Homo-oligomer: A and B are copies of this chain.
Amino acid sequence: MYTAWVNTSERLIESTRELLWERGYVGTSPKAIQQRAGAGQGSMYHHFAGKHELALTAIRRTADDMRARAEEQLSAPGTALERLTAYLLRERDVLKGCPIGRLTQDPDVMADPVLRAPVDETFVWLRGRLADILAEGRDRGELDAALDPAGTASAVVAVLQGGYVLARAADSAELFHTAVTGVLALLSSRTTP
């Protein structure tokens, strides 16, 4: 439960973000949100129209957050492969999984175009961003000239998302690392010496 150094609206949003991450939309009840936020029933419905609006606010914030933190590594100095590696191997809450990716498994989120949009946009952006970096690396001669930026970017993002799945299945964060290292090894072998 959040303490009172932020306002109720803020605590409700942050509680929702946590619960969506831990339990998804279907698994999160208004009551659970209120309890974690230390807010009453009436308080929640004063600030938000209901579970849906609260979730939308929470998802948008998480999406923005994810993008900003990715950009930290991706816009750092270094070669394409260095920035990509830094991004893939940065510290992550591996066993909690990806707070955006997990929403793709939520039937009520996928069925709702409004809730779904930020999820879609996040991956569109990430794939595009990685493709640009890969293309840059290829054009600078750091990577194999035959490398397909878009296809490789999709594969890399998929390894991230799938790495979370494998790690959670095995209850071992190491498996995420194994998968990521595995794809980096394949990619590095296409480096032009």
Contacts and interface: CB of A to CB of B under 8 A. Distances in A.
A123 interface: yes
Contacts of A123: 166, 169-170
Interface stretch (A4-12, A39-47, A177-185): A177-185
Interface string A135-177: 0000000001011101111111111111111101111000100
Interface residues of A, number: 57
A119 interface: yes
B169 A154 contact: no
A162 to B, nearest CB: 3
A121 to B, nearest CB: 9
Nearest to A160: B162
Interface in A72-100: 97
Which 4 pairs across A and B sit closest by C-beta, in order of nearness?
A: A158-B162, A155-B182, A162-B162, A161-B162
B185 A152 contact: yes
Per DSSP, chain A at the interface is helix
A162 B161 CA distance: 5
Report which residue of A26, A156, A162 has the largest number of chain B beta carbons within 10 angstroms of its beta carbon.
Answer: A162
Nearest to A124: B170
A186 to B, nearest CB: 4
B166 A179 contact: no
Interface in A39-71: none
A192 interface: no
Contacts of A105: 24, 97, 102, 105-106, 165, 168
Interface string A105-139: 11110100000000110111001000000000000
A23 interface: yes
A189 interface: yes
A169 B120 contact: yes
A163 B158 contact: yes
Contacts of A127: 166
